[in-house]
Amino acid sequence: MKKLLIHIVVIAGLFAVMDRSSGMLLKFLYNRSNATDAYKISYANETTRDAILFMGSSRCLHHYVPAILETELGASCFNAADWGIKNIYYQYGLLGNILERYTPQAIVLEVHPCDWLQTPFSGRERAGSLAPYCGVSEACDDMLKLAGNYWPCRLSTVYRYTGSLPDLLFGRWGTMNRELKGWKPMDGQIDTTGVKAEEYPFAVDTERVALLERFMDVCRQHNIRLILTISPMYVCSQEDVFLFARQLAAKHHLPCIDHYRDQDFVNHAELFYDFGHMNRQGAEQYSKKIGKELARLLTDNLNETKAAVPEIAD
């Protein structure tokens, strides 16, 4: 029995040492990687100190061009979005980590139905991407607990990087160009045969809605100007799928800029990479347009503390 206990203690000790040291090495590689996830998540959580942050799912990642937006808005911008259908669980935890370091002046949140509906393809597990930042902020830890990752991440630093060793080893040759300040352009054009609008026949998820509202409250408490946006899709649903978002924004006296059915973009195949993501050309065109609208909303108020009357553009 004693022999066995010694074995167990030695194994646990060796594991702790190997786990912590490997974890440190992995963190080092994580921060230097140019692979999409590693770069976007690490930079957004740890490094960015830009005045205006753009957060959201892959639609935000591909649609908002900081270079253009900085010109329109006269302030530093960073596209903090990531692909992989990131939803409010991720955004809320990310915000918590960012606020531990600094307070941005404004946040533009590109919303998607997975932020308030019970979408089976995008749920609590999305917060799992914040695993490397376990222990940084209470908000992030709460999200990790919901995702079921908190305790494994707490006990093992290696587990936080599970599955991402290749991305970390070959990170130098990753596809993200750091000079683009977080934007990932897509080159190519949509194949329009058989393309249908995405539908969302799901019930409202009260947990996600509560998180969205907490997100809004946190921004208000920190005097962060929050604007909700919806960028165009190639083909739109007959249902008013973003009604909920507009109503929620109005309830909280927040502006919501909805370009979902913007005829300048809808059905323009040359501007889209696939049904829900615009290509480089589309992103640049859209950024110019939304930049002007955001400027109208923000420039007066960047240094003010009270929220202006929201305008809902169409």
Partner 1 sequence: MVVNSLAFLWFFVVVLAVYYICQPKRQAQNLFLLACSYWFYAQIDIKMAGLLAVLTLVFWFIGRSIEQAIGQQHERRASRLTTLSVVVGIGALFYFKYLNFFIDSFVAAANVVGLHLSWTGSHIVVPVGLSFFTFKLMSYTLDIYHGKTVHERNLGNFANYIAFFPTILSGPIDRPKPFLRQIANARLFNPDNLTAGFRRVLWGMFLKMCIADRLDIYVSAVWNNYDHHSALSIGLASLLYPLQMYADFSGYSEMAIGVALMLGFKVAENFKRPFFTINIANYWSRWHITLTSWLTDYVFMPLNIKLRDWGVNGTIAAIMLNMTFIGMWHGADWTFFLFGVYHGLWYIPLMVSGQFFKKTKVKLNKVGLPTLPFALRMVGNYLVVTFGLMLFHADNISMFWDILCHLPEAWDGSLFLDMATMVNAAICTVALVWSDVQEEWFPNSKLWLPRWAERWRMELLMATEIVCILLFGVFDNNQFIYFQF
Contact set with partner 1 (CB under 8 A): 1, 3-4, 7, 10-11, 14-15, 18-19, 22, 83-84, 125, 128, 152, 156, 158-159, 161-167, 169-170, 274
Q: What angle do CA 232, 36, 137 make, to 5 degrees?
A: 95
Nearer to partner 1, 159 or 202 (CB): 159
Nearer to partner 1, 100 or 125 (CB): 125
* Comparison of 128 and 232: residue with beta carbon closer to partner 1: 128
Burial class (CB in 10 A: 0-12, 13-18, 19+), 179: exposed
Please, what is the angle between helix 88-99 and helix 206-221, to 10°?
Answer: 20
Q: Select 154 or 214, whichever has its Cβ closest to partner 1.
A: 154
| Structural contact between residues 69 and 289, judged by C-beta atoms closer than 8 angstroms | no
Shortest spacing between CB 274 and partner 1, in angstroms: 6
CB of 1 to partner 1, least distance (A): 7
Whose Cβ is closer to partner 1: residue 10's or residue 67's? Answer: 10
The least distance separating partner 1 from the CB of residue 209, rounded to whole angstroms, comes to: 22
Helices (H) and strands (E) in the chain, counts: 11, 7
Q: How many Å apart are CA 98 and CA 78, to the nearest integer? A: 13
Q: Give the burial string for 25-53 (b: 16+ CB within 10 Å, else e).
A: ebbebbbebbbbbbbbbbbbbbebebbbb
The CB-of-214 to partner 1 minimum distance in angstroms stands at 24
- Residue 83 or residue 200: which is nearer to partner 1 going by CB? 83
The answer to whether the beta carbons of residues 90 and 128 sit under 8 Å apart is no
What tokens appear for 38 in the block? 């590693």
* Residue among 84 and 310 whose Cβ is closer to partner 1: 84
- Report, in Å, the least distance between residue 227 CB and partner 1: 28
Distance separating alpha carbons of residues 271 and 286, to the nearest angstrom: 10
State the minimum distance, in angstroms, from the CB of residue 223 to partner 1: 36
Beta bridge partners of 78: 53
Q: Which is nearer to partner 1, 104 or 185 (CB)?
A: 185
Alpha-carbon gap, residue 215 to 116, rounded angstroms:
13
| Least CB distance to partner 1 at residue 245 (A) | 25
Q: Which of 251, 297, 259 is nearest to 105 (CA)?
A: 297
CB of 52 to partner 1, least distance (A): 28
The least CB distance from residue 248 to partner 1, in Å, is 27
Strand bridging mode 106-110 / 52-56 = parallel
Q: Which residue has the tokens 């209470």?
A: 138
Percentages helix, strand, coil for the chain, rounded to the nearest 5?
50, 10, 40
Cβ nearer to partner 1, comparing 14 with 312: 14
